[in-house]
């Protein structure tokens, strides 16, 4: 398969996964807890069904590959092949569980072992009818139309900033949010990293940050490529590697903005808030 065919394959896998997750949700079983996945979080039936549907389709179409996925962890199929698929079957599981539409199936594909090796990605939010996707050096798209990260050149007071606030981050996001609020920023906390980054790529959000030492690679592997291909400026680093490793054990910090100036302004506010540079988060959060 060429790269375009691989992209079509993961797009189809994402749509099929979403359809099955919606089916069990409508049946009243999708939100039932099924223990904990390899990532350590509680798994819902919807998570498991979506993941298995996506992987089964990849097996049908490709056969041999490696998977890094939230529920089953890291697994090799066939002889391993040359592709690694990074899957978050339901990014925004809490929203899914409560019937909120802010969740997405995220699938990225790479040749290699680091985030830099990702060359294709899709983020599909079925209840919003939004499909974001990208191939490296070929641009980013939303529902078939090319998209571009956009922001105004004026101050922070006009910006819409999404801040991740997972329970494991404790009070850290609140500190940063308080600092942003003093600058008149409009804040968003949607509960789905992949969807928020993809919305940044389409111009709905000016920047996104998660720099608390808890973010996993499966949440952002596809969306960071989509944002990059839309022209966004990214600051990303890993606890175990730079560039970050494609591993479920990896943790990353990520700051993505529609312009370099905005990213640098937010990085400066981060430094003022915590007393250390964003690149040093894993030296502090051990």
61 and 111 in a single domain? The answer is yes
138 and 17 in a single domain? The answer is yes
Residue (of 16, 8, 18) closest to 135 by Cα position: 8
Residue (of 238, 211, 195) closest to 100 by Cα position: 195
Count of Cβ atoms closer than 10 Å to residue 139 Cβ: 15
Q: Which two tokens stand for residue 60?
A: 């049908």
142 and 168 in a single domain? The answer is no
Distance CA 286, CA 284 (A): 6
pLDDT in tens, 35-76: 665 666 777 899 999 999 999 999 999 999 999 998 889 999
Contact assessment for residue 81 and residue 65, using Cβ atoms and an 8 Å cutoff: yes
- pLDDT confidence of residue 131: 98
171 and 220 in a single domain? The answer is yes
Distance CA 278, CA 281 (A): 5
Contact assessment for residue 219 and residue 91, using Cβ atoms and an 8 Å cutoff: yes
Instruction: For residue 161, give the CATH number of its domain.
Output: 3.40.190.80
17 and 44 in a single domain? The answer is yes
Number of domains present in the structure of the chain: 2
Alpha-carbon dihedral 206, 132, 143, 56, rounded to 10 degrees: -160
- pLDDT confidence of residue 40: 61
- pLDDT confidence of residue 31: 81
pLDDT in tens, 162-198: 999 988 899 999 999 999 999 989 999 999 999 999 9
The last residue of a domain, from among 91, 116, 147: 147
Which residue has tokens 């942003």? 180
Count of Cβ atoms closer than 10 Å to residue 137 Cβ: 8
Strand partners, 65: 77
* Burial label, 70 (beta-carbon count in 10 A; 0-12, 13-18, 19+): buried
Instruction: For residue 102, give the CATH number of its domain.
Output: 3.30.540.10
pTM of the model: 0.96
Residue (of 139, 149, 103) closest to 123 by Cα position: 103
Strand partners, 146: 141
Distance CA 223, CA 186 (A): 22
- pLDDT confidence of residue 42: 72
132 and 207 in a single domain? The answer is no
- pLDDT confidence of residue 53: 97
Q: Residue ranges of the chain with pLDDT lower than 50? A: none
170 and 133 in a single domain? The answer is no
**Domain boundaries, position 17:** 3-147
For residue 130, what are the contacts with CB-CB under 8 A and spacing of at least 6?
104, 123, 124, 142, 143, 195, 198
- pLDDT confidence of residue 286: 66
User: In which element (H, E) is residue 85 found?
Assistant: strand 84-91
Distance CA 78, CA 86 (A): 17
39 and 93 in a single domain? The answer is yes
172 and 205 in a single domain? The answer is yes
User: Percentage of the chain surpassing pLDDT 90?
Assistant: 85
The last residue of a domain, from among 147, 171, 204: 147
264 and 183 in a single domain? The answer is yes
Count of Cβ atoms closer than 10 Å to residue 115 Cβ: 26
161 and 279 in a single domain? The answer is yes
Q: Is the peptide bond before 154 cis (omega within 30 degrees of 0)?
A: no
Residue (of 207, 190, 281) closest to 244 by Cα position: 281
177 and 253 in a single domain? The answer is yes
The last residue of a domain, from among 147, 165, 187: 147
Contact assessment for residue 216 and residue 234, using Cβ atoms and an 8 Å cutoff: no
């Amino acid at each position: 398969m060429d790269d375009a065919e691989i992209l079509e394959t993961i797009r189809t896998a994402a749509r099929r996964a979403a359809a099955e997750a919606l089916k069990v949700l409508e049946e009243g079983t999708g939100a039932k807890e099924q223990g904990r996945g390899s990532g350590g979080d509680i798994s819902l039936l919807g998570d498991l069904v979506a993941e298995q549907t996506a992987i089964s389709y990849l097996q049908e179409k490709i056969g041999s590959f490696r998977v890094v996925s939230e529920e089953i962890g890291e697994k090799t199929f066939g002889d391993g092949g040359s592709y690694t698929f990074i899957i978050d079957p339901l990014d925004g599981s809490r929203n899914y569980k409560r019937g909120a539409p802010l969740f997405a199936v995220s699938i990225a594909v790479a040749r290699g072992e680091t985030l830099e090796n990702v060359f294709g990605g899709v983020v599909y939010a079925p209840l919003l009818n939004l499909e974001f996707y990208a191939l490296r050096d070929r641009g980013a798209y939303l529902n078939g139309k090319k998209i571009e990260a956009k922001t105004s050149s004026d101050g922070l007071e006009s910006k819409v900033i999404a801040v991740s606030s997972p329970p494991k981050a404790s009070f850290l996001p609140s500190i940063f949010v308080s600092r942003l609020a003093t600058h008149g920023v409009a804040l968003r906390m949607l509960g789905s990293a992949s969807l928020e980054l993809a919305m940044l790529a389409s111009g709905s959000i000016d920047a996104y940050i998660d720099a608390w030492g808890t973010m996993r690679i499966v949440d952002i592997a596809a969306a960071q490529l989509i944002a990059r291909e839309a022209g966004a400026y990214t600051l990303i680093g890993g606890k175990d590697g730079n560039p970050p490793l494609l591993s479920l054990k990896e943790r990353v910090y990520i700051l993505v903005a529609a312009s370099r100036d905005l990213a640098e302004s937010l990085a400066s506010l981060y430094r003022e808030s915590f007393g250390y540079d964003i690149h040093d988060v894993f030296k502090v959060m051990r």
